[in-house]
A and B are shown apart, each in its own frame.
Chain A
Amino acid sequence: MVAMGRGWMRSTKRKIREAMAGYIFLMPNFVGFIIFLVFPVIGSFLLSFANWNLITSPSAAGIGNYRELVYDQLYRQALWNTAYFSLVSVFFSIAIALFIAVLLNEKLRGVTFFRTALFFPTVYSTVAVALIWQWIFDYRMGLMNHLCSLLKLGPYPWLISPAWAMPSVIIVAVWKNIGYNMVIFLAALQGVPKELYEAALIDGANNWQRFWRVTWPMISPATFFVTITSIISSFQGFDVTTVMTGGGPANATTTLVMLIYKYAFQFFRMGYASAIAYTLFAIVLLLTILQVIFSKRWVHY
């Protein structure tokens, strides 16, 4: 009895020691997580109910900042711009990436070169890329209008017209993102069992039917992953628009994250900027939940 009790004590002590060691190993990351993520998240949420210009002490604003958002034209325009940018860029960056991935999944000569070349834009510095595209889209001296002029077209006001600016920015975002999406799709395509294609072929399925009935369902988890991550990152769009257009012309490319930056670090309205950040968080969360719910209908694990 005594021996059993001693054994139980030893085992409990060992478990406690192991647990302690585990917590100690976790500690550096956990402390960083608390300081750099949890505190700012809670802090900015509280700040969204206050007015603070960084110099004077914060003062309570109640729901004033959220109420102001309802009437803020600039916020509505930024919300629209973000939705427009997100919807179009995500659609094209997924569709084109999938198309290219299907092509590059074949055993062709030089396929490795094309895979590498198409992945390159993903690793380039966004700022450098945006500056180069700014020159490409230049109204007077840009490469794009030069190429158009060879075809007796244009010149087009790529970045200087409110109607053209957002499509121009979307072109750059799609070009930058397809490489990453393509790699995910390629990995998924290579995981589709060959037997399924052989069975479909025996059943007399043509190319389109094989893609639609075999490939598409089999890569649906990858498509789901790419859609969710692309939508989240597109809602956080900031760098390309900031460098290429600065949000203009006439606010045509001002996104929600740009607006947060403007209100926080140009107008020094930290509370209002936090309120915008929380609406952005709510939108992204809602979209993600909706996607998870609807994914049950089309994602096959």
Chain B
Amino acid sequence: MFKRSLLMFTICLFGVVMSFAALVSAEEVVTIQYAFWGNPAAIGVEKDIIEEFERTHPTIKVNPIVAPYPEYHSKLLTLIAGKQAPDVMRVDSYYFADFAKAKALMDITSLIKRDNLPMEKYYPAGLLDVKKGNRYYGLPWSTAPLYVAINLKMFKEAGIPIPSIDWKYDEFLKIMRQLSKREGAYRQYGYALYAGSISYILPFVWGNGGDLFDKSRRKFTLNNPPAVQRIQEVADLIKEGVIADPANFPSNDVVVRWIANNQVAMAMVTMIEILSLQQIQGVEFEVLPFPGTAKYPNVTIYKSNVVGLSATIKDKKKKEAAWTFLKFLRAPGERGEVLYMKAKRMPPTCDDPELWKIFTDLSKPPRMIVEVTNAIANKYAHLLPLRSGWLEVEGVLLPQLQRIYSGQVSAQQGLNEIAPKIQEILDRTN
């Protein structure tokens, strides 16, 4: 009888222990999805970040969702539409307004306040691209300017000294002309303009007091005199052969090749292109802000993408786990930023000399990058007037700009032609 009771007791105890263990383990491990763009076959630094995060946070498992950039946002939207939104997601700043408007991203302002995240450590200009009004919808990712890369060999051969960081548009124009020349079949250009994005023409326009939209971002203003005048000047410079015909550049990678081949003296480049230039042996180059004027000095594009949380997370534990991962990934002083710096994917999002030390390799050009980036962040930065419907506006505007650059229509005529269509897009997407 005793033996039987003991056996029964042992079985019950075992059952209770096992159930409890199962319950505890099920409660402890929370799985979250993290979506980002990249090469699905080689996710690189993201893998290192996830591995280190899982090692230091054994109760959270992170499943990556990766897609190449061209199809990433449509995949993300399809997941959201199918009620399978990733818990943590990276969003390009071009799409941020649309995602925030559609309430796809969670307002994380209260979480930032609760955990006292030192937001002042971020470059202030970078934070503006992750906010809607005064509310935060994510943390900045890849905050970086569009620099002007200058080909030092071409400058040296022409006897032109490296301009100072506070150079002005007139000096830029003069250098462009000095460095463009034609010798038989060989042609060298002072500047290369990439026409695959509106971003590359806007610094020219800003320098003349024009803009794409008015301050409320509800009215199209690129057909106003200051913008038209400057765009026409650019088209004339293309016709003169001072600026290389943008039709030559299906992507900015081609611009990089032309700089490396000493066919182009200056061009606007992103950090990715700077890294590409660094890989080419023997190319000596430097970076500068885009030159403004005394009246309009801050004309260098400063852009920040965002990593945010899905607004559809309902489960408290999952929300907490996703927030913990987001902080690890993007918060100042956390490991994510350090790992990104080691991988040299992008410059620091925070004004932190230690991060810059990890990121920069002073044996390689551009040697002034820290100084120039800080100058841009604090003095010369100009944010893109991003808003809902941005890509559709770009879809209408870019082909027309190509017609203007190729001399098929004047800037005034071309921009007036598309103004009603763009205004219709702005009204519809407001």
* Chain A interface residues (CB < 8 Å from chain B): 53-56, 72-74, 139-140, 157, 160-162, 246, 248-251, 254, 262, 264-269
Interface contact B81-A249, CB-CB below 8 Å: no
Interface pair A269/B392, CB less than 8 Å apart? yes
B406-A161 in contact (CB<8A): yes
Cβ of B47 under 8 Å from chain A? no
Residues in A neighbouring B408, C-beta threshold 8 A: 162, 250
Evaluate contact between B102 and A53: CB separation under 8 angstroms: yes
Q: How far is the CA of A85 from the CA of B71 in the complex (A)?
A: 27
Q: How far is the CA of A220 from the CA of B78 in the complex (A)?
A: 46
By the criterion CB–CB under 8 Å, are A157 and B247 in contact?
A: yes
> 16 A–B contact pairs at CB < 8 A?
A53-B102, A54-B74, A55-B80, A55-B103, A73-B421, A160-B247, A160-B248, A161-B406, A162-B403, A246-B250, A248-B402, A250-B400, A250-B403, A266-B395, A267-B392, A268-B98
**Chain A CB within 8 A of B30 CB:** no
Per a CB cutoff under 8 Å, which of A72, A139, A250 touches B399? Answer: A250
- On whether the beta carbons of B99 and A162 are closer than 8 Å, the reply is no
Interface of A is mostly: loop
| B interface SS class | helix
B251, closest chain A residue (CB): A246
A residues less than 8 Å from B158 (CB atoms):
none
**Binary per-residue interface labels of chain B (61-77) against chain A in the complex, 1 for a CB within 8 Å, 0 otherwise:** 00000000001001001
Residues of B near any A CB (own CB < 8 A): 71, 74, 77-78, 80-81, 98-99, 102-104, 245, 247-248, 250, 389, 391-392, 395-396, 399-400, 402-403, 406, 408, 418, 421
B104 adjacent to A265 (CB under 8 Å) = no
- Knowing A162-B406, A248-B402, the reply to whether A266 touches B391 (Cβ < 8 A) is yes
Q: Are A55 and B406 in contact (CB under 8 A)?
A: no
Smallest CB separation, A75 vs chain B (Å)? 11
Give the CA-CA distance A163 to B347 in the complex, in Å: 42
Q: Which residues of B have CB within 8 Å of A162?
A: 402-403, 406, 408
- Collect the chain A residues with CB atoms within 8 Å of residue B391's CB: 266-267
- The reply to whether A262 and B248 form a contact with Cβ atoms under 8 Å apart is no
> Which partner residue on chain B sits nearest A267 by CB separation?
B392
Residue from the list B99, B389, B392, B399 in contact with A55, Cβ < 8 A? B99
Contacts of A267 in B (CB 8 A): 389, 391-392, 395
Give CA–CA (A268, B400) in the complex, Å: 21
| In contact, A54 and B402 (Cβ under 8 angstroms) | no
Q: How far is the CB of B415 from chain A (nearest CB, A)?
A: 14
Among candidates B98, B247, B406, residue contacting A53 with C-beta atoms closer than 8 Å: B98
Q: How far is the CB of B424 from chain A (nearest CB, A)?
A: 9
Chain B neighbourhood of A53, CB < 8 A: 77, 98, 102
Inter-chain contacts of B248 with A (CB < 8 A): 139-140, 160
CB-CB < 8 A to B98: which residues of A? 53, 55, 268
The answer for the CA separation of A264 and B103 in the assembled complex, in Å, is 20
For B400, list chain A residues within 8 Å (CB).
250
